[in-house]
Amino acid sequence: MNKWFYYRRLIRVVIGFIIELAIIPWILSFALAANFFKKKFDIGIGPEPLINNIYHAKALKAKGYSVETFVNHVYYITDKFDRVLFCRSSRIIRIISNLLCLLFFSVIFRYRALYIYFNGGALLGTIFLWRFEPWLYKLAGIKIVVMPYGGDVQDLTHCQNIHFRHVVGLDYPEHRKTRRMVDAKLNLWINNADHVISGCDWVDYMHFWDTLMLSHFSIDTIKSNTNHEIWSQARPLKILHAPNHTNIKGTKYFLDAIEGLRAEGFQIELVIVNGVENKRIRELIDAVDLVADQLIIGWYAMFAIEAMSACKPVICYLRKDLLRFYEDVGLVNNCEIPIIQSSVQDIKDVIRGLMLNPELMHEAANRGPEYVEKYHSLESVGKVFDSINRSIGILPSVDLRAKL
């Protein structure tokens, strides 16, 4: 069975290589033609189907840019993208569309600039054409802003967090086979993109960036529920944990800590969910007293941002070296991040301390919305993106005054 699996894979690679080789003249011709074609949108964001793209589009639109999100498939988290190509078609149609690079031919005639991730743009998934993607965009007159999301930059040979390296292997054992590809694409886009964004723990893996942020993750704070119900010791503490990868998030340590605290007589209700859409996650955040994010990665991301924005206290592991770095470069003030710090070693003590001193949770919860507004709102992230666009020659085409 394994033998036939590798034979089929080899055949697909050979066929894909031949097809890509055959369409090179078409790709070059269309890319050159696109340089003289009036683009419909200022910015295209994709093709990775991340919910963050939707917020980025809103942030850019608020600054006067015409923006479209595009993907060639969707995840369970959301399908609210502007252009979803072939996601409901048969597998054969999707394979053919990828082989013929149909997404690329569409993209080069629609956008003046692209916001993409390090695993690639519209030629993501091709056999060898991805190696020439930056120059094809230059030929088409398209500017490129590249930013990381996680696995697209994680060459674990550069990882300073050994525990994280360990759990990635547990959750994604196949990741070890992609290291050279990750490294090749990282170097390709860092050296050839018009602008590079970094932040989060991604700085461990990147050797250069033009713009540094705490992270580029943004959220629509207007839609956040900031009616925080104060927890009292008269009822069980309700905790939400949403691990899309249980080892990386440190789920075991949360479970062990809560089991130990229950044995001590503490009343705790733990809600664990995964594989649910973002709308449901937001509803669950509003219904709990405390959010348990992760204990190993070393920085926070969208789940914690959504919880802080909703005025919920968040437990998360923040690496001290990353905290010191972002404070030293002036991106955040000392002790400004309203996250309740915990590691795998002290998570039980941290939760116990919060239950004995509920005012610590209330303080963190009350500081959350202001922090998110300052660093992760559509306005704050849109301001950074607007500055980046202007630096690469992309000015907003929408007259916001005309809309008033």
For 363, counting Cβ atoms within 10 Å of its Cβ (0-12 exposed, 13-18 middle, 19+ buried), the class is middle
pLDDT, tens digit (0-9, with 9 covering 90-100), for 259-274: 999 999 999 999 999 8
State pLDDT tens for residues 69-90: 998 777 767 778 888 875 555 5
* pLDDT score recorded for residue 93: 60
Kindly report which listed range (49-58, 98-107, 179-188) carries the lowest average pLDDT score: 98-107
Dihedral pair phi/psi, residue 330, rounded to 5°: 85, 15
Q: What are the start-end ranges of the H helices in 220-377? A: 246-249, 251-263, 278-287, 302-309, 320-328, 347-356, 359-375
Is the pLDDT score of 374 beyond 80?
yes
Task: Kindly list the structural domains of the chain, giving each domain's residue range(s) and its CATH number in brackets, ordered by start.
Answer: 19-218+380-391 (3.40.50), 221-376 (3.40.50.2000)
pLDDT of residue 289: 95
In whole angstroms, give the CA distance from residue 210 to residue 100. 34
Amino acid at residue number 198:
S
**Partners of 315 in the β-ladder:** 292, 340
Number of Cβ within a 10 Å radius of residue 26 = 12
Per DSSP, what are the bridge partners of residue 44? 68, 114
Tell me the mean pLDDT in the region 238-266: 95
Go through the chain and tell me how many residues it has.
Answer: 404
Tell me which residue has tokens 């091709």: 126
Vertex 77, ends 173 and 212: CA angle to 5°? 75
On the question of pLDDT at 275 being above 90, the answer is no
* Contacts (Cβ under 8 Å, ≥6 apart) of 310: 224, 225, 226, 282, 285, 286, 368, 369
Listed in sequence order, the residues at least 6 apart from 311 whose beta carbon sits closer than 8 Å to its beta carbon are 224, 225, 226, 227, 228, 365, 366, 368, 369
Q: Which residue has the higher pLDDT, 70 or 7?
A: 70
The answer, yes or no, to whether residue 401 has pLDDT greater than 60, is: no
Contact 288, 238 (CB under 8 A): yes
* Whether the Cβ atoms of residue 365 and residue 228 lie closer than 8 Å to each other: yes
* Nearest-angstrom CA–CA distance, 316 and 313: 10
Are 220 and 305 contacting, i.e. CB atoms less than 8 angstroms apart? Answer: no
Could you tell me the CA-to-CA distances from 207 to 52, 190, 196, 312, 370 in Å, in that order? 24, 8, 11, 35, 32
DSSP letter (8 states) at residue 231? P
Give dist(CA 95, CA 78) in Å, integer: 22
Q: Residue 198 in contact with residue 211, Cβ under 8 Å?
A: yes
Nearest to 124 by CA among 187, 46, 236, 180: 46
- Whether the Cβ atoms of residue 218 and residue 381 lie closer than 8 Å to each other: yes
pLDDT tens digits, 311-340: 999 999 999 999 999 999 999 999 999 999
- Cross-strand partners of 341: 316
**Token couple for 251:** 């789920």
Cis link prior to 173 (omega < 30° from 0)?
no
d(CA 285, CA 192): 40
Return the beta strands (E) in 124-256 as ranges: 143-147, 195-199, 211-213, 237-241
**pLDDT greater than 80 at residue 277:** yes
User: 334: which DSSP letter?
Assistant: T
